[in-house]
Amino acid sequence: MGKAEFRAFNTAYMFEHQKFEIEIVRQVDPRKLRWPAKDETGPDSGLGCNREYEDFTGRSWSDAQTVLDTERGLISKIEAIYWDLDEEAREAELLEAEMYLDALDLGVAATVNALSAAKCIPFSSCNAGAFGGMHHERYPLVAFHAVRSTVKLIMSAAEQADVGIYGGEFLVVYTDEIRKLSLFAQSLIDRAPQFDALRTTPEKKRPALRRRRNDGQQVLPFE
């Protein structure tokens, strides 16, 4: 087999990341943001109508970088062995990967941790089956609460990583290709000194979040 044939053979079996059919827009009105009350963020609170909500607040920038490095390594591993595995073995690999990521989906864990380090409250995330399997969301996303003072930096990081962001009372960062969320997480981490210099205490007398039923579907549909 010559070099050209080998290159063609190797390329045919490379893992190709899924391209999700979603338009990338960045449109946020900080005036609409609301910060949840303490009783809405505790264990079993179901913040954001997520019945599986877990508290990921309080992560440090060092934590975020460690998770990002781990996640990138796991993604590289999946890319390398994907075509050598059957569907059952692939699922087993993904479950093992999630063990290293606090049970978060592969591809969104670093963003969850970086947003936490930026003093946001992530409450729902999904990789939309970027590496296989059945998932609720149509495209990879992380939903989170943020205070107004952080929006400019978050938007800047989103633009640098070419990911989308939208929302109302809370924000949703999303992507048409899972690896872009790693870039977004790194962009947040790179801005750590700027985030730390901000006033991130929520403004007082904000209305409490409206309670909504959880239908188990998308956190905030976007068309």
- Whether the per-residue pLDDT at 10 is higher than 80: the answer is no
Closest by Cα among 104, 114, 123 to 171? 123
- Residues 124/219, Cβ–Cβ less than 8 Å: yes
Over residues 48-58, the pLDDT tens digits come to: 556 666 888 89
Chain segment 140-199, per-residue pLDDT in tens: 999 999 999 999 999 999 999 999 999 999 999 999 999 999 999 999 999 999 999 997
d(C-alpha 106, C-alpha 97), whole Å: 7
Cβ neighbourhood burial of 2 (10 Å; 0-12, 13-18, 19+) = exposed
In the chain, where the domains are located: 20-196
| pLDDT, tens digit (0-9, with 9 covering 90-100), for 111-147 | 999 999 999 999 999 999 998 777 789 999 999 999 9
- For the chain, what is the mean pLDDT? 83
The model's pTM is 0.81
In this predicted model, what pLDDT tens digit does every residue of 93-102 receive, in sequence order? 887 888 889 9
Note the Cα 87 to chain centre separation in Å.
24
Query: In the chain, what percentage of residues exceed pLDDT 70?
Result: 77
Strand partners, 26: 165
Confidence grade of residue 9 (pLDDT, cut at 50, 70, 90) = very low
Q: Count other C-beta atoms under 10 Å from residue 95's C-beta.
A: 12
Position 14 confidence tier, pLDDT thresholds 50, 70, 90 = low
Task: Read off the tokens for 44.
Answer: 């079993």
15 close to 78: Cβ distance less than 8 angstroms:
yes
- Give the confidence band of 85 by pLDDT, cuts at 50, 70, 90: confident
Q: Please give the pLDDT value at position 24.
A: 97
Which residues are CB-contacts of 69 (< 8 A; sequence separation ≥ 6)? Answer: none
Q: What per-residue confidence (pLDDT) applies to 210? A: 45
3-state secondary structure of 171: strand
Task: Tell me the pLDDT band of 87, cut-offs 50, 70 and 90.
Answer: confident
- Which among 146, 107, 101 is positioned nearest to 123, based on CA atoms? 146
Question: What does the CA dihedral 144, 149, 152, 155 come to, rounded to 10 degrees?
Answer: 0
Which has more confidence, 84 or 17?
A: 17
- Alpha carbon distance 18, 38 (integer Å): 38
Provide, rounded to the nearest whole percent, the portion of the chain with pLDDT above 90: 56
> What is the pairing mode between strands 141-145 and 171-174?
antiparallel
Give the separation between CA 222 and CA 22, rounded to whole angstroms.
Answer: 9
